[in-house]
Amino acid sequence: MNAANTLTPAVTQGRPPSGGRVRSGRRVADRTLRIACTLATLLGAVVLGSILLMLIIEGLRGFSATLLTQPTPGPGSEGGGIANAVLGSLVLTFIGIVVATPIGVMAGTYLAEYGRGSKLADVIRFLNDVLLSAPSILIGLFVYTLMVRPMGSYSGWAGGVALAIIATPVIVRTTEDMLRLVPGSLREAGAALGAPPSRVIMSVTWRAASAGIVTGVILALARIAGETAPLLFTALNNNSWFSANLMGGIANLPVMIYQFALSPYPNWQGLAWAGALLITVAILALSMVARLVVKSERAR
Amino acid sequence: MASLTEEIALAHPEATRIRRPPSKGLDGVFRGAAYASAIIVLLVLAGILASIAYGGWPAFREFGPGFITSTSWNIGTEQFGAWVAIVGTLASALIALLIGVPLSLGIAVYLTQLCPGWARKPVAMTIELLAAVPSIIYGMWGLFIFAPLFARFVQVPVSNLVEGLPIVGTLLYARVPSGVGILTAGIILAIMIVPFVASITRDMLDQIPTILRESAYGIGCTTWEVVRHVLVPQASVSIIGAIMLGLGRALGETMAVTFVIGNANRLSASIFDPGSTIASRIANEFNEADGMQLNALMALGCILFVVTFIVLIVARLLVRRVKVA
């Protein structure tokens, strides 16, 4: 990024110094590339714009006064809201992030602080990267076998665990990357004061990398908030009001959106759009916040 | 030195106590917790493989290697085969790469070479926000916005044009121009992998020393020549790695595909016709499945696991090798 800025403007614009005396074949190839690349970028922006526009138009149409105060209505009936799904999603995401954060931060700490140069750490780092992009539906199958089948029913706990498994690699990766950016001299200074390694990590390295670690957690939050596939076989859905009993199926936004959007009832479809708008705005806001945290940290 | 230490130790017995870290026990616990957390990551991956293999084993035993090549998926007679889903998965992922890779490379080149400085950050952010949009939203966009347009402006005219022609007449003929099908799924997947491939490629292009580019521009190269002869050869291995990462994502993507692929259980010669992928079939049938069907779906998951993990491992190796070098 910064490297490109060092080029003089005439050079970045790629204007050959010889002006119009470039062979036409070269010029055509160059123009084609420029136009094609610009069009590709425009297309990406148009798609994002069209998705947001669709969500805003359809989502606002589905909004009503009872949206956030009433549970999902029965098939074909009017009124109702998505309050239970919103609450359920918050609970599932909360469980996921609460389970994933300590494991992810500690594993990232191991990779960055204790595991330097160890073969095991290399293997774990590599497999964590693979897990980072593993299909989420397979994680759903795993948690189904691990929890849903032995316990005999879909449950909120299973959904939370599935989300935790998706969030953990994100946190491991960012924690490790951020800890590696902390200069070794800080650690040495801590050790020279007689602090044991755990003390150095907790009071010096973690503190120095705190903004980065928080960013990782926010990114993980944004990642799991919209996950649908693993919840299909774990938390499933539930049209009744939210209950504190996490042993049964639990309503959640993504699965609600999936089921309602494909249903034949206009009221349900409207609620699905409203839910989709809500969840996308929340996730995009989280991604922006994560970006801002990193930016303010860099500026410091 | 040693004698001095001993002297101090003799004179001040409490000093020896200070030399030992007061929180030795806590230190060990902390280290152990970090180690255990790292091992959990390993165990989860092993657990995923083990649970899917365990669940799919009855289907593999029942149908043998024929499970992979059989095209039947009959719940009534309990005859299951993976071929239709495998072909659908590979076809949609291939279409996604054919469309998505040129787009991603174009965006990466635009961001690093062509974009004016003030627009670089907002444009990069737009592309990265595309990566944050949940896959179910892509599914809804694909089904409710893209598919009707696609049916009206592409499927119907193309079908009318190619009807009766050999090869293209079957490949590009829509029996029911509803807009959903393998090609639609491939296009939606292409849009979903673009932000990933583009941002990795951009990072790789940024890592190439500026002096190489400056030298090329300095001897009068056009942007096309710089991209073709300087940037691409420098970053080729990692670009392939980035493409493989995109492929891994396209193979395992579930919700978006489930919305737009049409979920047909038969093999069709036309890419306009509905089909199904491994992930979409699992998402569709798993909750109502029982007995052998459940095992067959787990076996499908097992195949998906093996294929995506090979792709992802190769991708990570390619991307990593360049980062180290």
Tell whether A114 is within 8 A of chain B (Cβ): yes
The Cα–Cα gap between B119 and A252 comes to 38
| Cβ distance of B301 and A222 shorter than 8 Å | no
Specify the pLDDT at position B70. 84
Residue B263 Rama label (left phi>0; alpha psi -120 to 50; beta): left
The ipTM value here is 0.84
Interface of A with B in 8-27 (CB under 8 A): 11-12, 14, 16-18, 22, 26-27
One domain for residues A193 and A90: yes
- Residue A185 sits in the same domain as residue A122: yes
pLDDT of residue B35: 93
Low-confidence spans in chain A with pLDDT less than 50: 1-12, 17
Q: Please spell the DSSP secondary structure of B119-137, one letter per residue.
A: HHHHHHHHHHHHHHS-HHH
Q: How many CB atoms lie within 10 A of CB A201?
A: 25
CB-CB under 8 Å, A33 with B227: yes
Same domain, A111 and A179: yes
Tell if the CB–CB gap between A232 and B126 is shorter than 8 Å.
no
A191 within a domain of the structure (yes/no): yes
Fold of B29-323: MetI-like fold (1.10.3720)
- The rounded distance, in Å, linking the Cα atoms of A247 and B160 is 55
Task: List all residues of chain A from 221 to 280 with a beta carbon under 8 Å from chain B.
Answer: 222, 225-229, 232-233, 236, 254, 257-258, 261-262, 272-273, 276, 279-280
Cβ distance B41 to A131 less than 8 Å, yes or no, reads: yes
**Using the 8-state DSSP alphabet, how is residue A112 labeled?**
I
Query: Residue B79: beta bridge partners?
Result: B74
Note the pLDDT of residue B10: 52
Question: Taking a C-beta distance cutoff of 8 angstroms, is the pair B282, B52 a contact?
Answer: no
- The residue segments making up the domain with residue A178 are 83-299
Q: Are residues A116 and A55 in the same domain?
A: no
pLDDT at A103: 96
For residue B318, give both structure tokens: 């390619």
Smallest Cβ–Cβ distance between A124 and the set B26, B38, B251 belongs to B38
How much is the pLDDT for A20?
A: 53
Q: Do A52 and A125 sit in the same domain of this protein?
A: no
CATH of the domain at A279: 1.10.3720.10
Nearest CA in chain B to A291: B125
How many domains are contained in chain A?
A: 2
Asked if residue A8 belongs to a domain, the reply is: no
Q: 10-residue block means of pLDDT along chain B (325 residues)?
A: 51 49 74 93 92 90 86 83 90 94 92 85 85 91 91 84 74 76 92 90 87 88 87 86 90 91 80 88 87 89 92 84 46
Which among B109, B117, B227 has CB closest to A5? B117
- Both A123 and A36 in a single domain? no
Nearest CA in chain A to B315: A130
Do residue B103 and residue A272 have CB atoms under 8 angstroms apart?
A: no
Yes or no, beta carbons of A27 and B222 under 8 Å apart: yes
CB A205 within 8 A of CB A179: yes
Partners of residue B314 in chain A, C-beta under 8 Å: none
Closest Cα in chain B, distance from residue A132 (Å): 10
